Homo-oligomer: A and B are copies of this chain.
Amino acid sequence: MQGNDIEQLTKLIAKLPALGARSARRIVLHLLKKKETSLLPLITALQNVADNIKKCPICGNFDTEEPCAICADTARDIETICVVQDVADLWAMERAGIYRGQYHVLGGILSALDGITPEDLNIESLFLRLNDRRVQEVILALPATIDGQITNHYLLSRLKEYPVKVTTLAQGLPLGGELDYMDDGTIQLALSARKEI
């Protein structure tokens, strides 16, 4: 009974991550009611992103500039490259606000289950970047999962050919983490990596 345009929009929104049919209907209704303050600005913002955002040819980040603002920022440390799975992880690192080096976005991790091989990822370009002999350290900031470890392993074996230090993020209890709520694996890790204080 609703117009076909509304149905079409609802279907597209329902397919976005974290959304379903019910939340899509709520969003569409909100947009219909707030045409001037919500629907039209959203169209403009989406159009701007569609027109202006490019993938950085160096690191794989998204930005309006090419190369991206991080790769182009001469104030940032050029000796360190932090390897992340996804642009979302790069954003998370930047929000943490402590890292001032370069990034390399793989666009995924190796996965036997999903059939993701090194050729499917943005890996070869990482090694090309290492030909710049100024790079001293590669930080592997991949997820602490089996697939993440497998990818770490693969990268480590390939990185041996280059004169760089390879590090990974520390594992243990998260900030504010209560033992009672931690899984066994995290407790085992935190215990075996315990430090003298």
Contact = CB atoms under 8 A, between A and B. Distances in A.
A17 interface: yes
A39 B49 contact: yes
Interface in A63-120: 63-65, 69-70, 86-88, 90-91, 94
B48 A5 contact: yes
Quickly give the copy total for this chain. 2
Interface of A: 1-6, 8-9, 12-13, 15-19, 23, 25-32, 35, 38-43, 45-50, 52-53, 61-65, 69-70, 86-88, 90-91, 94
A1 B99 CA distance: 12
A12 B38 contact: yes
Given A17-B30, A29-B87, A39-B50, A45 B12 contact: yes
